[in-house]
Structure 1
Amino acid sequence: MKCLRIILCSLSVLALAFWVLSTGCSFPANPDTTPPQISILHPADGEVVTGVVPIVVAATDNDEVKLIRVFVDGVEVFSGPFSSTTFNWDTGPLADNRDHFIAATAEDPEGNIGTTPIIAVRVVGSALPDTLAPVIRILNPLNGQIVSNPVRIVTQVTDDSPIQKVEFYIDGALVNTDVEFPYEYIWDVSGLINGSRHSIFAWAYDASGFSSASNVVSVTVATNVQGDIKAPKVTILFPAANSIFSASTQGTINVAADASDESGIDRVEFFIDGVFKSADSTAPYEYLWDLAPFADGQTHTVYVKAFDKAGNDNAALVAVKINP
């Protein structure tokens, strides 16, 4: 009886297979739900472009690529049945020295669509302008150094445009402007308190109107210092360097700093463009900055100085842009 059941089952399987072959029917395959992979090979994100610019796009799929579309600022500028393409984009109508955004999509026969990340390019009208700020570092004195009179502050400045001037700041206040190479300043410390700590930074401007700040260097005046001469640690938590804010939409921002020291923090002082604004003696150390008076579209400095219980101090600085 068992053998008879096995024979009948085998005959049923054979009959089903014969019916499938004779009728041309097949079992449905799993549907394709995988979208194509697509990339923008040119231009690069953040590139400055002018004239006719080739937009190079390439796509792959586990089946085939049916259609590629290219978009500029959300408007379709090209479409075609290719897996890779180069579209020559005339940037002339958009040459406004602003960022414009490129994206592309790829579609396979099943209707799956893959999308590139959006890239931004700056479109300019003619020759590429200088868009880079100078790079400036204080080479002397070194951070943490004990100095005596006179102190030679030496900077190193590099840029692709001529340097217009270098400003020198001591404890957040402008003390000298140098318009000729080498950019340096002889600092007279004879009238300062023995053992006092001071912070130095410099600001470089190029002929194209771009500017940037140097590293901050903290020094101790004289050599016969006793007791605690270790500077506190200070960090600007907000805003981040090179942030951009709008006074009309944000109004105020909360400048926040973190400070620590073995002997304890006495206070943290806040300066905007080198001008004292507020002091906070209790953590978290904060200052509410009203942006309206600074909403000129220019770069401004946030300078924070921390003092410990022994009178040692240290500073941090960031530059931000405030739009109207």
Structure 2
Amino acid sequence: MKIAVDAMGGDFAPLEIVKGVELARDQFTDIEFELFGDEKQITAILQNSDRVNIHHTDVTIDMGEEPVKAIRRKKDSSLVLAATAVKNGEADAFFSAGNTGAVLAAGIFVIGRIKGIDRPGLATVLPNLSGKGDHEYFVMMDMGANAESKPAHLYQYGFLGDFYAEKMLGYTKPTVGLLNLGTEEDKGDAVHKEAWQLLNGSDTLNFIGNVEARELLNGAADVVVTDGSNGNTALKAIEGTALTMLKMIKAAIMENGVTAKIGGALLKPALKGLQGKLDYSKAGGAVILGVNAPVVKTHGSAKAEAVSNTFAQIHQMITSNLVPDIQAYVAAHKDDLSAKQLDAEQDN
């Protein structure tokens, strides 16, 4: 299999991207990496060129650029060239740690969306810290691809997230919840009320109703459906809270004398375990579900290990036939998933 890599995307590119490629290359003997970026910089870092091909370009899309304009104006950028390689069948998947909006735009407009999916969404895997059962993670989408969504789009996210949880996490009949400001059926705005009715009316989904943000990490559901604005806000709140709590614990230990430091030394293994549970990058990057190939975006600040973990995720997506299976499922259930038909049903 071949993975097209935007080697220049990310805060620490190309150094950490190339190092991550080599870690994954040494782990997976069946992956060939197509790196798009500055050949001189990449070659200076690369320790071993085995199964690594470099496609030179000195054009990049910066983090702050307007996404759609950038992919249209910079067709020879590392990000667009990597996506184009997938579109042309020269690679099986697309990876980047760069501009999230540009990755989304390239996934949708260059690689293309699956027919029958109206708005592809960004899905990520987050930790379940409840300690109950064997479900260590849950899937949440949309995480920022679409600031506003119609009820029909949220309904489609339920199916996409359910499919991902089954194929990638191995969950049987995963529970699906709708992120809302209360658990009652009539909570939220008109969009969420209508989405609740659509999800609840599905004979396929194991829909359990609304879930609240405070219960997300406590195993509220295996799949959490949300619009991009609320999803991205929840994700950043979780990230910020986790980092702040760990810093506060460290500061409390360091500022309270020898006894506290001794206690901190004894607690160090437990705290490392907690930090590991909160590090959702171990499960890989965020996936654009609803496009015609695996498109995965890892955090802009990702280091080599997180990059390598994302390649492991992509490897699983390809070997499990995730995208072709989604395409087949959507085609077989096109009437049930049609946004136009669902909107018409709501209007009636």
Q: TM-score range by the shorter chain?
A: under 0.3
User: Which has the bigger relative contact order, CA under 8 A and spacing at least 6?
Assistant: 2
Larger-Rg structure: 1
TM-score normalised by length of structure 1: 0.26
Alignment TM-score, normalising by the size of structure 2: 0.24
Bigger proportion of residues as helix: 2
